[in-house]
Structure 1
């Protein structure tokens, strides 16, 4: 399991947020749930990806964290 199972980023200039969490569904599958939206209104979305293991979830989290950092998001 990753050291943190939930991350939240904010892009102050664009007034956007992005969140990722690792969880399990009712059948025991590992999920990486991503959500994003605007700080100004309620527009946004969510995506749920099934991963094979906690190690795969940790790898996906690291990839997403690098992408968010490259795009100017700040970890909260």
Structure 2
């Protein structure tokens, strides 16, 4: 799953994948649209429900802070 958010000057990407051991890896990437400075954070979840709770919380926070969903957002029905 990949969720992309944009504000006027910032970008934010969430990617949730499974590793070879079955754990859920949530990668967050944030960056400036003009200067491309930013960072990356990864979290490991053993439980899918915990991972999805975190994704939903982050999505609400991004929307609350004025970010809009990007055009190329792909969401599988099983992830929402």
Give the TM-score, by structure 2 length.
0.80
Quick one: which of 7, 11, 15 aligns to 1:11?
7
Deviation at 1:26, TM superposition (A): 3.6
Unaligned runs of 5+ in 1: none
Aligned to 2:37: 43
Query: Separation in 2 of the partners of 1:25 and 1:43?
Result: 27
Tell me how large the CA RMSD over aligned residues is.
Answer: 1.1
SS in 2 for 1:42: coil
Q: Which residue of 1 aligns with 2:75?
A: none
1:7 to partner: Cα distance: 0.3
Q: How many residues align?
A: 70
Cα shift readout 1:36-75 (whole Å, capped 9, x = no counterpart): 0010022110000011222211111100001001111001
Shift of 1:22: 0.4
Within 2, Cα distance between the matches of 1:10 and 1:17?
A: 4
